[in-house]
Amino acid sequence: MTNSTVMPYNTAIMTSKPSHIAAERFRAAYWQVLHDLDTSRLQQWEQSRLTLPQLRVLFQVRKAPGITTGQLAKCLGITMSTTSGLVTKLADRGLIDRRSSEADRRQIPLELSEEGLRLAGELAAETTRPFLEAVAEELGDELDDVAAVLESLALASARVRTR
């Protein structure tokens, strides 16, 4: 038998595409992690009596204080009218403050009110953070490796999203 006909033991290493089995393992693990993370978080969110779109607005305004409704709509990938309605509902509940801009009166920067900051912090502190800390503790010595893989996943996800 000549060398040209000998197949390497692991042909998956020679291809840039993931194997079907690896892709299936990735999808299964991804959805399991999302399910586990979201179960406790969704239960807490339901108690806040906010819809998921309202929560997305709340957390985006928390992440980017001073964001305008137009910027928020673009960031969330929803229409201006939908975003305006969500902002109005959150403002009516006292969770978002609308400020005026001295540079451009048409621009209305958004910020979380004290109540909005408290609620957003409470949701993060009572659900997501403790769960992630427990998972990190469970990983023990594997934590650095898992963090590196998650960072790689985040970068790959960002690259695909921008295409």
Residue 21 is assigned to a structural domain of this protein: no
Residue 13 is assigned to a structural domain of this protein: no
pLDDT for the residue numbered 152: 94
| Residues counted in the chain | 163
pLDDT band at 4 (very low <50, low <70, confident <90, very high): very low
Residue ranges making up the domain that contains 55: 46-162
Confidence check: pLDDT of 13 > 50:
no
Query: For 147-155, what is the mean pLDDT?
Result: 93
The dihedrals phi and psi of 110, each to the nearest 5 degrees, come to -110, 140
Residue 135 is assigned to a structural domain of this protein: yes
CB 57 within 8 A of CB 87: yes
Residue 68 is assigned to a structural domain of this protein: yes
pLDDT in tens, 21-36: 999 999 999 999 888 8
Residue 61 is assigned to a structural domain of this protein: yes
Residue 133 is assigned to a structural domain of this protein: yes
pLDDT band at 108 (very low <50, low <70, confident <90, very high): confident
Residue 3 is assigned to a structural domain of this protein: no
**Which of 1-15, 68-82, 120-134, 137-151 has the lowest average pLDDT?**
1-15
Query: For 44-72, what is the mean pLDDT?
Result: 90
Tally of domains in the chain: 1
pLDDT in tens, 115-133: 999 988 887 777 778 888 9
CATH code, 137: 1.10.10.10
Confidence check: pLDDT of 79 > 90:
yes
